[in-house]
Amino acid sequence: MDALLQAALDARGRAHAPFSRFLVGAAIETADGRIFGGCNVENSSYGLTMCAERTAIFRAVAEGAKRFTRIAVVADIPKLTPPCGACRQVLWDLCGDIDVILFNLEGARETLRLSDLLPRAFDATYLD
């Protein structure tokens, strides 16, 4: 299995989802080949919950990563699970138009560009 997908699976195993029981793992790859995993971490105040994708990207940035090539997202449901809107926006701002690999535990897999998931994205170019 691809190291990026394996890192997402490993991260999913560490998810903290006592309320939804919806375990999600993500892993992001840097331009120099480093991989950072992240999992969803729920809170009883749902608005404070952090998604796996943002956990992975924030961890990578905290470790000094600046350029990214792709992210993988895994959940254990038949329907492939894309990043939520907040994650799409954060990924766009920090990564640009990267590949987004969605997969599940049954072996289904799809690769999309972030621009397909977030058409006409808002970014810093609107702030000039």
Q: What is the pLDDT of residues 16-26, one digit of tens each?
A: 999 999 999 99
C-beta of residue 29 within 8 angstroms of C-beta of residue 4: yes
Q: How many CA within 13 A on the CB side of residue 102?
A: 14
* pTM exceeds 0.85: yes
* Mean pLDDT calculated for residue range 21-49: 97
Catalytic (active site) residue 106: no
pLDDT value at 32 more than 90: yes
Catalytic choice (29, 53, 63, 106):
53
pLDDT value at 128 more than 90: no
